[in-house]
Amino acid sequence: MKEMKEVKKTKKSRFSIDIKYIPALAAMFLFIASYAIGGMLYGDRGFLTLRNFTSIFTDNAYLGVSAVGMTFVIISGGIDLSVGSVAALSTMLIAWCTAELNMDSRLVLGLVLALGTFMGFMMGVLIDKLKVPPFIATLIGMFLARGLCFLISIQSITINDPLLRTLGRWRIRLVQRPPAHINISVIIFAVVLVTGIVIMQYTKFGRGVYAFGGNRQSAMLMGLPTSRIQIGVYAFNGFCSALAGVLFAFYTFSGYGRHLYGMELDVISSVVIGGSLLSGGVGYPIGSLFGIMIHGVILKYISFNGKLSSWWTKIAVGVLLLLFIALQRFIVYVADRNKKILKEH
Amino acid sequence: MKNVRKITSSKTFPPLVALFGILLFNVFLNPGFLTITIVEGHFFGQLIDILNRAVPIMILGIGMTLVIATGGTDLSCGALLALSGAVAVSLIRGKSTILNPETETPFIIVILATLAVASLCGLWNGFLVAKIGIQPIVATLILMTAGRGIAQLITGARNLTTGYPPFSVIGQGWFLMFPVPVFIAAGVFLLVWFLVRKTAFGLFVEAVGINASAARYSGINATLVIMTVYMISGFCAGVAGLIYASNIMCADATNAGLNFELDAILAVVLGGTSMMGGRIYLGGTVIGALIIMALTKSIYAFDVAPESALVVKAAAVVMVVLIQSPLFQNFRGRVRACLPFGRRAGEGA
């Protein structure tokens, strides 16, 4: 026992940072590097201005909110394909309820968030109680939410509610020239992110998610409430998806069934690039933040260049995914080897 | 009685019943549903239309069945469908114009090159899964995002059209009074069925799906099996891509095969193959694809947006998933035990 501790110590001292942080750190460095390269290429056109920097957040806040929820799901060892559809359903419901039914917008917001949470909860029940694979259960949610959008209306509905308009337009100006600002979406994203980090690091539930994702058999034998954890994760993600939809409604002031098609892919790839392992048990919400920001910077490259087509985004994201997955595989390989060395001692 | 038992306990029986149920429902809505007329020497009718439209999903589903049987998933097949369409049409176009549709590339080369590109992409997926050990969902996610990007790179982000007559035969032609795509689907089905049921390959696939390391210890080259399976899925996507592109005579990199991977997975699951792997029900997958199309058809009979078909699809999957769930299986087992002719020996849930 004593020997083992010593071995562990020597290992620790050789790697000054714990190996499990590397993917998230790599994502951070990649973001900084890509931003710096962008600055070198397009610095003369204002790539490095505060305005450009904050716009990465204002443009991608809804993705970020969804990514926090997705991080939970992926750490728990699952996957959620329904996020884009649930978010689209939220925009649709907000628009329809305020424009056609003349409902109070505060009530509508509450209802939408509750509905998203409920859909996530139901998917969690399917997965946990009926042992439906997460892929299929959330596929059902995806179809259902998207279909409900079109049952409401196949047209795009404009949001004219005064309160929602005011909230969506509200912003804090940071610098006068060139105008840089943050809006309510960025603040909500920050709150969700901090909440996510606190839940994951400091609460029983969050630690349970790690344990469950790492090895559900052991988690069960340890007496953790695995059902509550698994269903809770999907319910939380449902809430995040609905909130992402609300932010997107603030961003576009419209509800439409074709909104956010394929958003789940952007979110999942950002979370993976941010260092969460799809096999579960490893990942950090803060890593997903960098995943989202890298995605945002790629989009910025394309808009600054002007000649590049948007399909380069897809290829770039694909290549990044490959790189990061290869890195993760390498880390798992090294960790396994270390374990073996420990065992031999 | 024994024969009846044999049929009803078959895995393909519930989807078959579901398909007949939906068709009956359609007849109820539209009495002329089953009529098939002969126009210009071809069969025409709703049933033929369902059959014809189900072909791309069916072919993708056949490849997907094998992938799912190994315990994996191929998310990239929709994107590969778009990619192979882009390859085919851009090869056909070469330097030719709409007014002068004669292609410079021999037609057979076009087809072979397209199928080769799709198979290579599938092989790449298999390489990532089997050699590098990446989870199937992530490994195929790479080509799912990048595949469409590459397709747009090939077409220059435009919808490339072509008017080359031989190419139109693949998706729009008729043969022996039936649409050509139906024959292509039948060909792919028979090919894979032969491979799975008449050679040891099917057994290997199922063994790998049940327990990859046990299969490895019993001398099966699991790496090779998994790579082959993904390559077959890529090949199927190539065939489906040719049919899809030929049907609209256009390479649409953005919308071709969008969400088809989900429909294909759905067809497989509806057909009774478990997502856990270890079982192959090719016939079930074909029926699953037909169910999806028949469902979509019946939605059109109502006065709602065609996109709302998704709600019905969701309901259908919930039903199938409930039937497959351990909870329901236990219940069914208990009911069976109470039946007068008793439980057959060795029959599990």
Q: Determine the Cα–Cα distance for residues A73 and A335; give it in Å rounded to an integer.
A: 23
Is residue A13 less than 8 Å (CB to CB) from chain B?
no
SS3 B104: coil
Identify which of A135, A147, A321 has the shortest CB distance to residue B307.
A147
At residue B240 the predicted structure's pLDDT band, cuts being 50, 70 and 90, is very high
Rounded to the nearest angstrom, the minimum Cα separation between A152 and chain B is: 9
Rounded to the nearest angstrom, the minimum Cα separation between A39 and chain B is: 25
- Chain A's closest residue to B266, CA to CA, is A136
- Residues B269 and A136: beta-carbon distance below 8 Å: yes
ipTM tops the 0.90 cut? no
Binary contact (A79, B137; C-beta < 8 A): yes
Range of the domain at A305: 19-30+58-344
At residue B154 the predicted structure's pLDDT band, cuts being 50, 70 and 90, is confident
Q: Determine the Cα–Cα distance for residues B281 and A151; give it in Å rounded to an integer.
A: 34
Biggest CA–CA distance in chain A, Å, is 72
- Backbone region of residue B42 per phi and psi (left: phi > 0; alpha: psi in -120 to 50; beta: other values): beta
Beta strands in B245-324 (DSSP E): 250-251
Please state the φ and ψ torsions of residue B310, each to the nearest 5 degrees.
Answer: -60, -35
Average pLDDT rounded to a whole number, residues B331-341? 66
By the 10 Å C-beta count (0-12 exposed, 13-18 middle, 19+ buried), A111 is classed as: middle
Suggest the residue from B76, B80, B321, B327 to mutate for an interface test with chain A (most A CBs closer than 10 A): B321
Cα distances (Å, whole numbers) of residue A81 to A78, A112, A120, A185, A264:
10, 19, 11, 23, 6
- List the structure tokens of A279: 């096999």
N-to-C CA span, chain B: 20
Q: Determine the Cα–Cα distance for residues A328 and B3; give it in Å rounded to an integer.
A: 53
- List the structure tokens of B156: 């220059």
Residue A323: which CATH number? Answer: 1.10.3470
The closest of A58, A282, A305, A260 to A146, measured between CA atoms, is: A260
Across all residues in chain B, what is the average pLDDT?
82
- Residues B37 and B45: beta-carbon distance below 8 Å: yes
Q: Determine the Cα–Cα distance for residues B307 and A142; give it in Å rounded to an integer.
A: 13
At residue A118 the predicted structure's pLDDT band, cuts being 50, 70 and 90, is very high
Binary contact (B142, A131; C-beta < 8 A): no
Identify which of B134, B157, B310 has the shortest CB distance to residue A325.
B134
**How many residue contacts between A and B have a Cβ separation below 8 Å?**
122
Is residue B326 less than 8 Å (CB to CB) from chain A?
yes
The closest of B233, B201, B44 to B136, measured between CA atoms, is: B233
- Chain A's closest residue to B316, CA to CA, is A140
Identify which of B144, B149, B327 has the shortest CB distance to residue A130.
B327
pLDDT value, residue B98: 54
- Residues A178 and A119: beta-carbon distance below 8 Å: no
At residue B343 the predicted structure's pLDDT band, cuts being 50, 70 and 90, is very low
At residue B337 the predicted structure's pLDDT band, cuts being 50, 70 and 90, is low
Interface of A with B in 119-158 (CB under 8 A): 126, 129-133, 135-137, 139-144, 146-151, 154
Q: Determine the Cα–Cα distance for residues A241 and A83; give it in Å rounded to an integer.
A: 5
In a domain, A157, yes or no: yes
Is residue A259 less than 8 Å (CB to CB) from chain B?
no
Tokens 């689209």 belong to which residue? Answer: A88
Average pLDDT rounded to a whole number, residues A160-188? 85
> How many beta carbons lie within 10 A of that of residue A104, not counting itself?
13
Lowest mean pLDDT among A181-185, A222-226, B274-278: B274-278
- The per-residue pLDDT for range A202-221, each reduced to its tens digit, is 999 999 999 999 888 999 99
Binary contact (A151, B305; C-beta < 8 A): yes
Binary contact (B149, A135; C-beta < 8 A): no
- The per-residue pLDDT for range B281-326, each reduced to its tens digit, is 898 899 999 988 888 877 777 776 777 778 887 887 787 777 767 7
Rounded to the nearest angstrom, the minimum Cα separation between B225 and chain A is: 22
The total number of structural domains that make up chain A: 1
What is the Cα gyration radius of chain B? 21
- Give the contacts of B259 (CB within 8 A, at least 6 positions apart): B78
Lowest mean pLDDT among A51-65, A296-310, B83-97, B333-347: B333-347
Interface of A with B in 194-253 (CB under 8 A): none
Question: For residue B349, which residues of chain A lie inside 8 Å, CB to CB?
Answer: none
At residue B102 the predicted structure's pLDDT band, cuts being 50, 70 and 90, is low
pLDDT value, residue B347: 42
| Residue A34, pLDDT above cutoff 80 | yes
Q: Determine the Cα–Cα distance for residues A179 and A182; give it in Å rounded to an integer.
A: 10
Identify which of B143, B269, B327 has the shortest CB distance to residue A136.
B269
Average pLDDT rounded to a whole number, residues A12-33? 75
Cα distances (Å, whole numbers) of residue A78 to A152, A210, A277, B30, B31:
30, 12, 10, 43, 45
Question: For residue A84, which residues of chain B lie inside 8 Å, CB to CB?
Answer: none
- The per-residue pLDDT for range B29-67, each reduced to its tens digit, is 777 777 777 777 777 777 888 888 899 999 999 999 999
Q: Determine the Cα–Cα distance for residues B122 and B120; give it in Å rounded to an integer.
A: 5
Average pLDDT rounded to a whole number, residues A217-241? 94
Is residue B137 less than 8 Å (CB to CB) from chain A?
yes
| Residue B104, pLDDT above cutoff 70 | no
> Does this model's pTM top 0.90?
no
- Give the contacts of A73 (CB within 8 A, at least 6 positions apart): A79, A80, A134, A233, A234, A237
- The per-residue pLDDT for range B190-234, each reduced to its tens digit, is 999 999 988 888 889 998 888 888 888 888 888 999 999 999 999
SS3 A49: coil
- Chain A's closest residue to B302, CA to CA, is A151
Binary contact (B142, A318; C-beta < 8 A): yes
Q: Determine the Cα–Cα distance for residues B263 and B61; give it in Å rounded to an integer.
A: 8
Binary contact (B311, A257; C-beta < 8 A): no
pLDDT value, residue B349: 37
Lowest mean pLDDT among B5-19, B173-187, B283-297: B5-19
Rounded to the nearest angstrom, the minimum Cα separation between A300 and chain B is: 17
pLDDT value, residue A205: 94
Identify which of B142, B253, B317 has the shortest CB distance to residue A136.
B317
